[in-house]
Amino acid sequence: MPITSSRVKEGSLKLGPIATAVDFSCQPSNIRLTPTTETEDPLETLCGDIATGSGTTSWVLQGTAISDFDDPDGFVLYCFENDGDQVEFTWQPNAGAATWSGEMFVQAVEIGGDVNTRLTTDFSFAIVSTPVYTPDPAPLGATTASTGPAGEGNEVGEPVEEEPPADAYGNTSAP
């Protein structure tokens, strides 16, 4: 397999329900999904049997954002107003890439900093469960033409011929 190098660039970060999500894509200067795995040691019992240890992985969405506390619709105020709330998120690391989504707990972030300098604030939001990975629907080299399933005379990737509409009795009229 050849080397593949990914970059976080020209992506998107949306918080809230999909239909009304707020787009904060222009605020983060650093963003990542970070797993933490906690493992339990095996435990030997009196009879000599060993109960195996187990492990759990938790996730956070974390990074650094440009402070925008002067903006009533900004990221800092969103975090302040939704502190402790469970909200949906969708993160696309770069344009035309797969997305990661789920639900997380928003926490208030730092407000203010050094005088007369560009300010940033760090954030770390605990994700409720494992983030959902959705592959890019049109990866590099793919076409977007409508195709049908294999079988019934179709090969995978062949265009689907649409049938004329049927009336209430199932009769079709060919053009």
Name the nearest CA neighbour of 83 among 57, 108, 109.
Answer: 108
C-beta pairs of 11-15 under 8 Å, 24+ apart in sequence: 11/91, 11/92, 11/93, 11/94, 11/95, 11/97, 12/90, 12/91, 12/92, 13/89, 13/90, 13/91, 13/92, 14/89, 14/90, 14/91, 15/78, 15/87, 15/88, 15/89, 15/106
For residue 136, what pLDDT is reported?
Answer: 84
Q: What CA–CA distance (Å, rounded) separates 139 from 136? A: 6
Which region, left, alpha or beta, applies to residue 16 given φ > 0 means left and ψ of -120 to 50 means alpha? left
- The pLDDT, as a whole number, for residue 96 is 84
Averaged pLDDT, groups of 10, the chain, 175 residues long:
91 94 97 94 91 91 97 97 97 93 98 96 97 81 45 45 51 52
